[in-house]
Amino acid sequence: MTQDTSAATTHNQPLSAQTPTNDVRQRFFIEDSPVRGDVVRLSRSYATTIAQKPYPEAIKRLLGEMLTAASLLIGTVKIDGRLSIQLQSSDSDSLLNWAMAECDQNGIIRALASWKADNDEQVQAWDNMIDAKQAFAELGEAGKGVLFINIQPDGGEPYQGIVERSHDNLADCLAHYQKQSAQIPTLINLASDGLQAGGVLVQMLPRTVQETVEVEQNQDAGIDDDLWTRLTMLTSTVKDEELTTLAASEIIYRLYNEESVVAPEPVSLEFGCTCSREKCETAIEQIGETEALDILEEQNGSFEMDCGFCGEIYKFDKDDVTAIFAE
């Protein structure tokens, strides 16, 4: 595998102290091997996201893991666009209706979830949940509920992959999907404490044709056949509190300081939203002028459209609606 390392540095110690510690995706490579990885740390961007709604603690943590996962996975696809992860319950009795998290190629993240808290019993049930795994379990037992990965290239055709509900947590389901669909061995660890979130992804890319030929001919290709086994063991040792509190560079150093790691500049991550008044006008066009005017009459001459992601409110009156359909 050939990688552009012109802006990278090999390190056997933590990256520069000037490297941002929060709200970043830090890519790394194991030199002279087909291994790539990313570490994501979310702090302010995550806090801003979950502050938009009064989420139960378990959903806050689940959204933290989902945001981290989306930020990790978009680094594995070569697109200009967005990648989102969506969970959809198939059980009407589930307390979690759906949840989604999104990251675009520029590092802009956002997330949203819908849940049931219509009575004291449901509210108490959420109060008794303390971690993301419990919220994830609200999809139902293994094999139930639906997980999607949606990829939307700018100006291109969207792609949706269905993730098998093979495990009882998001990280293992996504790692299984990567191995089964892309045939790429993948390690994923995710963590969220309700205040911060983080995760690590490591992949073993396919060997080049030349490397495969040399292995088949039993030649010394300089390939470390024990590398993946070693990385699997090392990655499994990372603790949740390390993923949510340590700088990305420190996580890489603690796990892989015996390897020759190459680390390019990190990518900043931040909360952002794509809502706009123009998109609201398009939605009004879709429902039609008659229905829009009926809504105006029901709402005493004006109505509001609010964005669930960021809380922005767009107000429309009769003049606004008339102008939309006059164009």
Give the least confident one: 11-15, 207-211, 216-220, 296-300. 11-15
Mean pLDDT for the stretch of residues 212-234:
70
10 Å CB burial of residue 269 (0-12, 13-18, 19+) is buried
Whole-angstrom Cα distance, residue 31 to residue 64?
Answer: 31
Mean pLDDT for the stretch of residues 271-283:
88
Give the least confident one: 92-106, 204-218, 234-248. 204-218
pLDDT at 276: 87
Mean pLDDT for the stretch of residues 125-132:
95
Mean pLDDT for the stretch of residues 79-106:
93
3-state secondary structure of 283: helix
DSSP assignments along 25-47, one per residue:
EEEEEETTSSEEEEEEEESHHHH
Whole-angstrom Cα distance, residue 193 to residue 41?
Answer: 12
Q: E strand or H helix at 84, and its extent?
A: strand 81-88
Contacts 24+ apart (CB under 8 A), 168-177: 168/133, 168/136, 168/137, 168/142, 169/132, 169/133, 169/136, 170/62, 170/65, 170/66, 170/69, 170/85, 170/132, 170/136, 171/65, 171/69, 171/199, 173/147, 174/69, 174/73, 174/85, 174/149, 177/149
All structural domains of the chain: 9-271 (3.55.30.10), 277-326 (3.90.1280.10)
Whole-angstrom Cα distance, residue 180 to residue 182?
Answer: 6
| 218 pLDDT higher than 60 | no
Whole-angstrom Cα distance, residue 204 to residue 323?
Answer: 55
Pairing of strands 9-11, 261-263: antiparallel
